[in-house]
Amino acid sequence: MPDITVLLPSVLQPLAGGQSYLTTPADGAVTVESLLDAVTGNYPVLARRLRDETGSLRRYVNIYVNGEEVRRLKGLETEVAAGQEVLIIQSVAGG
Amino acid sequence: MGCMATAESYVLAIGTKKGLWLARSTDRKEWSLSGPHFLMSEIPSIGIDTRGDKPRIMVGVRSEHWGPTVAHSDDLGATWTEPEQGAIKFPEGTDAALERIWQIYPDSASRPGVVWAGCEPISVWKSTDGGEHFELNRGLWDHPHRSEWGAGYGGAAAHSIVVNPSGENVHVAMSTGGVYRSLDGGASWEARNKGISARFMPDPNPEFGQCVHKIAADAAVEGRLYAQNHHGVYRTDDNGENWISIADGLPADFGFVMLTHPRREGTAWVIPIKADSERIPPDGRLAVHRTDDAGESWKRLDVGLPDHEYNAVLRDAAAVDSAEPTGVYFGTRGGSVYASADEGESFIEVASHLPDVLCVRAAVVSGVVSPDVAAEFAAAAAASGVPA
């Protein structure tokens, strides 16, 4: 079964046991929401860094599927095909 | 592991826009600084709980990217712990998400383990396990006034929590909304703002909606509290039923800070800012003002403070310790931190050129500092490049 890989920014890697990416098996397309549920299930602090308690993606967290930021697609309902890579990158914010 | 040192020492926690610094002293004259902890996260709230065997430092942390959380340290900042599921989390059904922790308030020694938190969006929380997990106060969350509460410039938050010795009377102040009082330990709440001005509203004397910046209780007189308002400095002697002006004698009635003495009746400190529209110390001359007669008169205190200072001092960027004489501490938005070991009569600069200071808290930690922790602290100070 092909994996879907989620690449983490270095600042979040300590919250995933030092891993630079997380994978989950997938035999078909899954939504970004269920993908995040799957890969952060064992890393609850990491999960809270990405989404708030309502499940919304934090404002300055960007997730890219096929090079497109998911807010330009269908948000957390955006589908990710088996075998794809997903990028998590913090956006420009702060001063 | 060496033997435990028993000397009394002081810890000063400095929360800034870009991290936490910790200062330690044995005499409140010489301070060593370590940090930054939580670099690039703002630290708008700190609670130092000295009720247990070890002092616990709790901090509200907020990253612009990664959101807010509460962390605590039981070894004076050598290591930090964050509850996996988060200490403060809005329950399902509220459709709300935690934005910022504005206040962490350890309750009295008679209620060990109880810690209160005030948050944005406007909410009050209570922990019974030393700040590791908090529950939302539903009485205030479900209050019928909620839809009419507004946001001050810094956000809409409950920023002050005061609990009386019995635990029955709880006062909360919010911006904007004003003062709310509970007589049943937090189960139900009523607005208590009679006499507090809201000059930015069409009706300057509404039941609620005031922008009270900070409240603090007189430690020795039950039912007496002090308030620094968005223009106006007030006192109540009847548990919030009526507020009277005590601004006469101050150079300005605007400001954010209100501190009270940990034991003595009638002593409070404010740090005036010129005006809503001119948020600098009056004439660019920074000064603390203290009353020893519950606001009947004020004494200007500026020994050791700079000749010119154009930065404001935010509502939680000031604190007292519990020593005798009481220490007074504050930090500016320009990143300077000042400490007084004599109730404000004279100040020394503890730190300078830090990011905007959002919160300071100070505590006496006695008989609990192991040489290992002291060594770790010194190492951290050395590693940070900050002279110890």
ipTM given for this complex: 0.93
SS3 for B331-383, per residue? ECCCCCEEEECCCCCCCEEEECCCCCEEEEEEEEEECCECHHHHHHHHHHHHH
Contact A53 B97 (CB under 8 A): yes
Q: What is the pLDDT along chain B (388 residues), one digit of tens a residue?
A: 334 445 789 999 999 999 999 999 999 999 999 999 999 999 999 999 999 999 999 999 999 999 999 999 999 999 999 999 999 999 999 999 999 999 999 999 999 999 999 999 999 999 999 999 999 999 999 999 999 998 877 889 999 999 999 999 999 999 989 999 999 999 999 999 999 999 888 888 899 999 999 999 999 999 999 999 999 999 999 999 999 999 999 999 999 999 999 999 999 999 999 999 999 999 999 999 999 999 999 999 999 999 999 999 999 999 999 999 999 999 999 999 999 999 999 999 999 999 999 999 999 997 545 445 555 555 555 554 444 3
Contact B65 A52 (CB under 8 A): no
A42, A46, A52, best to mutate vs chain B, most B CBs in 10 Å: A52
Alpha helix stretches (DSSP H) within chain B: 138-141, 371-384
Rounded Cα–Cα distance for residues B120 and B182 (Å): 20
3-state secondary structure (DSSP) of residue A91: coil
Q: What angle do CA B156, B157, B162 make, to 5 degrees?
A: 150
Helix (H) or strand (E) holding A45: helix A44-50
Rounded Cα–Cα distance for residues B270 and B276 (Å): 16
Q: Which residue's structure tokens are 């005006």?
A: B275
The pair of three-digit structure tokens given for residue B179, joined into one six-digit string: 């003062």
pLDDT value at residue B201? 84
Beta bridge partners, B60, equal B45, B70
Give the nearest chain B residue to A94 (CA atoms): B64
3-state secondary structure (DSSP) of residue B119: strand
pLDDT value at residue A92? 76
CA distance B17 to chain A (A): 9
Give the nearest chain B residue to A90 (CA atoms): B65
pLDDT value at residue B91? 97
Record the pTM.
Answer: 0.94
